[in-house]
């Protein structure tokens, strides 16, 4: 489409935001998280934006892509993205996320998704339509149901790291989201605050932190407090399959996300199939089906019911295409989340709006960042547990460059930019090291 505007400039801007001391199988979140932004300009005067995971490797890969983007008509966005995705260097010995080694994220994440988002943003503005109209079969829904993402949180005051405090906030959720939360009662308090502020009716607990019995006690406590809620858990494959079956069978779980993983010569796809057969509980994953080949084997093994096809792993177009296949096979689409700014939230929303079939409630970490890390003038709002998809063109957001450059200043003050959850964890357990089969606080 040579009669469309031409990309005249592409900037790659690394940014940082503020995090809580959230716990997972991979350790404890640092005080800061990093992301990479792509900002495109075209000769019609429009600006397009995209966001993807942080880290030096992804930043450098985006910078290397500049010659493939600048000077091209935005109407060639499919060709541009196809070229970049085909050139993506998936390291041959990558084991996907079955063992959740964070150093492998750069092998799984398609940094090009930030370019794809920015091109789609430009194309939507040129055609005066939202991005969801350009994906798959177009818009499928106007409102996106979001789940309340619950985390165990350790005490930031036991470290000398610069975690921020919001205890004096008037917002009941902001008051507690930086403070210690390690018991079932505390997890219920999180759920209650999220319900009060955002109206969530669905919840997911990030597991892989305490003993499985303690985490399932928290699940049942949330279900007791919210009897009509769909309540789920994600231990990131930490549990052995026999333990996962024992813990979950007869529970209140709506689905179990990666309850087990690689074990005794069996892949996570095989152990999850065993779990499903033994419990009858639907399974979800963002670990054993992160590309088309893995999806094929997960389907053959009957390992999963819900594929959390994060657009950062699949690309935005790929994620929506995945939803079309899942819908045809009577399976369910959803999306996984990492810490992110409001640009990624817009990308999630547009993909979810175009996703085919009866999709599951969307993951997002935005509730942990909102009110502090906005980079746009009009971030999406979660109201009554949902985000409404407007008719605004492109991603439906307006970048605020002053805020972007402040986030870039914060990034430049950091001593490291790649995610490493072991550093904060070592304040609580001396010489702590990641072990894919040991919950992070169980040593």
How far is Cα 23 from Cα 363, in angstroms, rounded to an integer?
17
249 counts as catalytic? no
Contact 386, 141 (CB under 8 A): no
> Is 430 an active-site residue?
no
Determine which one of 29, 202, 204, 336 is catalytic. 336
Using CA atoms, how far residue 392 sits from 128, 129, 164, 354, 400, in Å, is 8, 7, 34, 15, 17
Which residue matches tokens 């935001």?
17
- Select from 196, 102, 186, 101 the least CA-distant residue to 150: 186
Report the C-alpha gap between 141 and 349 in whole angstroms: 10
Write down the catalytic residue from 53, 59, 106, 206. 206
Half-sphere exposure of 299 (CA within 13 A, CB side): 17
CA atoms within 13 A on the CB side of 277: 11
The DSSP annotation for 86-122 comes to HH----TT--TTTT--GGGHHHH--THHHHHHHHHHH
Which residue is associated with the tokens 């605020």? Answer: 400
In 329-382, where does DSSP find H-type helix? 342-354, 366-369
CB 210 within 8 A of CB 244: no
Count of all residues that appear for the chain in the document? 443
Which one-letter DSSP state was computed for residue 374? -
Q: Which residues are catalytic?
A: 206, 336
């Amino acid at each position: 489409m040579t009669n469309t505007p031409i990309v005249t400039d592409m900037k790659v801007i690394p940014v940082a935001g503020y995090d809580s001391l959230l716990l997972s199988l991979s350790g404890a979140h640092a005080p800061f998280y990093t992301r990479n932004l792509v900002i495109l300009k075209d000769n019609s005067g429009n600006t397009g934006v995209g966001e993807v995971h942080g880290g030096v490797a992804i930043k450098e890969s985006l910078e290397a892509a500049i010659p493939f983007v600048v000077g091209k008509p935005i109407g060639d966005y499919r060709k541009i993205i196809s070229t970049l995705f085909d050139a993506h260097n998936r390291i041959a010995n990558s084991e996907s996320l079955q063992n959740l080694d964070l150093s492998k994220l750069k092998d799984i994440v398609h940094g090009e998704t930030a370019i794809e988002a920015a091109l789609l943003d430009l194309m939507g503005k040129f055609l005066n339509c939202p991005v969801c109209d350009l994906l798959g079969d177009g818009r499928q829904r106007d409102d996106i149901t979001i789940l309340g993402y619950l985390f165990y949180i350790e005490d930031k005051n036991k470290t000398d790291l610069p975690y921020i405090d919001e205890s004096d906030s008037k917002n009941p959720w902001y008051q507690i989201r930086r403070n210690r939360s390690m018991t079932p009662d505390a997890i219920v308090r999180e759920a209650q605050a999220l319900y009060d502020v955002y109206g969530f009716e669905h919840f997911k607990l990030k597991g892989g932190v305490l003993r499985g019995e303690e985490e399932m006690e928290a699940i049942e406590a949330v279900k007791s407090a919210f009897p009509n809620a769909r309540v789920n858990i994600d231990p990131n494959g930490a549990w052995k399959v026999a333990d996962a079956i024992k813990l979950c069978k007869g529970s209140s779980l709506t689905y179990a996300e990666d309850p087990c993983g690689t074990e005794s010569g069996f892949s996570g796809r095989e152990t999850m199939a065993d779990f499903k057969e033994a419990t009858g509980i639907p399974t979800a994953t963002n670990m054993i089906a992160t590309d088309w080949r893995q999806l094929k084997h997960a389907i053959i093994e009957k390992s999963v019911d819900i594929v959390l096809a994060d657009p950062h792993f699949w690309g935005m177009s790929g994620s929506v295409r995945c939803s079309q296949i899942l819908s045809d096979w009577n399976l369910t689409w959803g999306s996984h989340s990492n810490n992110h700014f409001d640009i990624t939230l817009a990308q999630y929303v547009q993909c979810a709006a175009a996703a085919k079939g009866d999709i599951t409630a969307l993951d997002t970490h935005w509730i942990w960042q909102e009110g502090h890390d906005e980079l746009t003038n009009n971030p999406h709002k979660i109201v009554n547990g949902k985000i409404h998809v407007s008719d605004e063109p492109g991603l439906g957001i307006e970048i605020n460059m002053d805020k972007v450059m402040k986030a870039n200043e914060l990034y430049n003050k950091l001593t490291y930019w790649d995610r490493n959850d072991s550093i904060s964890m070592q304040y609580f357990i001396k010489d702590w090291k990641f072990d894919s089969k040991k919950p992070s606080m169980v040593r």
